[in-house]
């Protein structure tokens, strides 16, 4: 039976994209609170448009945060330091509209449903900060156990910012996007694997007066794409093909950043996670302290899925976990390995292994992943998953060996 094939595309954006600016500002506020108040409660939203930043939300803390100064510092570090770039961190207006967290929500987090009904287990005292469902995912497609399309899109966008800041391509501006299409093959057992990069799209803001096809495209191929694209997935001759790499298809991209488009916190949730290769529960991450399960449980679900795959229990794993506001125990936990589980293991057995080795109550997640730290601003661009950073505790595979042993698999776990 011939292998079936399909194409899958994912997108990332640079740190200078207006929605990502908003995410970084919101997480900068969160980090500033957690630096001096690990128990601070933050739900911070940012809107950014031509010449104006609005920071609003609910914050309950014992510390003071100079939000206007923080906004200007964050935007300046991204690179919007001149009006000709479409935004100036020093002269933009900043409006702050902050209130305290709702007492009703606070009560459910600090005094859970279980605690109110006589349960004295300390880990049952913290209730979920909201209702909802969260997803985690991991796949053997890359060394980072991430889907290949989103991983490459992130690398391209990060490289765009690096060559801009290093003055390798000084005519670039902070705003930009990348989109990568991968061809997959599916074998007779239904297992899929990435085979080839089919197409790349890069849209990058630039100085006026430059031709995208004759100047910018060759520069991006030489300084952005060649250094990072994995040779196992493309023939370098394809870089010279007209329809393999698209750069600024409209012809130019001069008006960008907040002048070109309004930015909002939480509007790039698929960029933040798995590029559409796995579902998203709907809740955004940035600007939310880790008592909000929108964030912390999504991190925990990634941690579970990554350890399952690293253990060799499955080639792909997706975790769904659902919560009720104010309740400590998850309402449901679902494991799906898409038929890629190791020989001799069943879906029911893998779900039991997950229950035995991972505690998905909010207090346990905060403890096990050490989330009450100011580590969040750097999560807000280039994805929350698949990155090597010791602060990203949800990327550890420290339970893989124990899982493998419990599953009765002979070989040691590898990433």
* Strand partners for 192: 186
Mean pLDDT across the chain = 93
Tens-place pLDDT, residues 386-398: 999 999 999 999 9
Helices (H), 79-147: 103-110, 113-116
Check: CB of residue 18 under 8 Å from CB of residue 263: yes
Please identify which residue in the block is written with the tokens 């600007």. Answer: 287
**pTM (predicted TM-score):** 0.94
Query: What was the pLDDT predicted at 2?
Result: 58
> Residue 209: pLDDT above 90?
yes
Lowest mean pLDDT of 115-119, 242-246, 387-391, name the range.
115-119
Q: What is the mean pLDDT of residues 193-215?
A: 95
Q: What is the pLDDT of residues 129-142, one digit of tens each?
A: 788 999 999 999 99
Mean pLDDT of 79-89: 88
> Which tens digit of pLDDT belongs to each residue from 337-357?
999 999 999 989 999 999 999
3-class SS of residue 242? coil
Residues listed for the chain: 415
Task: List, for residues 273-309, the tens digit of each pLDDT value.
Answer: 999 999 998 899 999 999 999 999 999 999 999 999 9
The Cβ-side half-sphere exposure at 250, using a 13 Å CA radius, reads 8
Alpha carbon distance 188, 159 (integer Å): 38
């Amino acid at each position: 039976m011939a292998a079936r094939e399909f194409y899958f595309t994912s997108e990332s954006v640079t740190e200078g994209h207006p929605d990502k600016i908003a995410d970084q500002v919101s997480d900068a506020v969160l980090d500033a609170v957690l630096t001096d108040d690990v128990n601070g409660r933050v739900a911070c939203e940012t809107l950014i448009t031509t010449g104006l930043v609005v920071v609003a939300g609910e914050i309950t803390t014992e510390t003071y945060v100079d939000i206007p100064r923080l906004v200007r510092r964050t935007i300046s570090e991204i690179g919007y330091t001149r009006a000709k770039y479409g935004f100036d961190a020093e002269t933009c207006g900043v409006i702050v509209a902050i209130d305290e967290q709702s007492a009703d929500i606070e009560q459910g987090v600090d005094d859970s449903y279980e605690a109110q009904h006589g349960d004295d287990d300390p880990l049952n005292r913290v209730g979920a900060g909201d209702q909802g469902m969260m997803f985690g995912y991991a796949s053997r497609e890359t060394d980072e156990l991430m889907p290949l399309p989103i991983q490459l899109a992130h690398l391209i966008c990060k490289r765009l910012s690096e060559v801009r800041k290093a003055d390798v391509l000084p005519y670039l501006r902070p705003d930009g996007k990348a989109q990568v299409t991968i061809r997959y093959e599916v074998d007779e057992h239904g297992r899929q694997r990435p085979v080839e990069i089919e197409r790349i799209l890069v849209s990058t803001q630039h100085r006026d007066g430059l031709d995208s096809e004759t100047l910018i495209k060759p520069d991006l191929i030489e300084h952005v794409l060649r250094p990072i694209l994995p040779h196992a997935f493309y023939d370098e001759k394809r870089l010279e093909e007209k329809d393999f790499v698209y750069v600024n298809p409209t012809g130019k991209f001069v008006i960008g950043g907040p002048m070109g488009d309004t930015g909002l916190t939480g509007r790039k949730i698929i960029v933040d996670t798995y590029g559409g290769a796995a579902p998203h529960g709907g809740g955004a991450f940035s600007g939310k302290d880790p008592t909000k399960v929108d964030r912390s449980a999504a991190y925990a679900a990634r941690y579970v899925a990554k350890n399952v795959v690293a253990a060799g229990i499955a080639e792909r794993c997706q975790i769904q976990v659902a919560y009720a506001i104010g309740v400590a125990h998850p309402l449901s936990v679902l494991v799906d390995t898409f038929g890629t589980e190791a020989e001799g293991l069943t879906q029911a057995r893998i779900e039991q292994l997950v229950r035995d080795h991972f505690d998905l109550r909010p207090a346990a997640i905060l403890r096990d992943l050490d989330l009450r730290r100011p580590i969040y601003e750097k999560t807000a661009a280039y994805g929350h998953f698949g990155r090597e950073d010791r602060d990203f505790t949800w990327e550890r595979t420290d339970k893989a060996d124990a899982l493998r042993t419990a599953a009765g698999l002979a070989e040691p776990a590898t990433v």
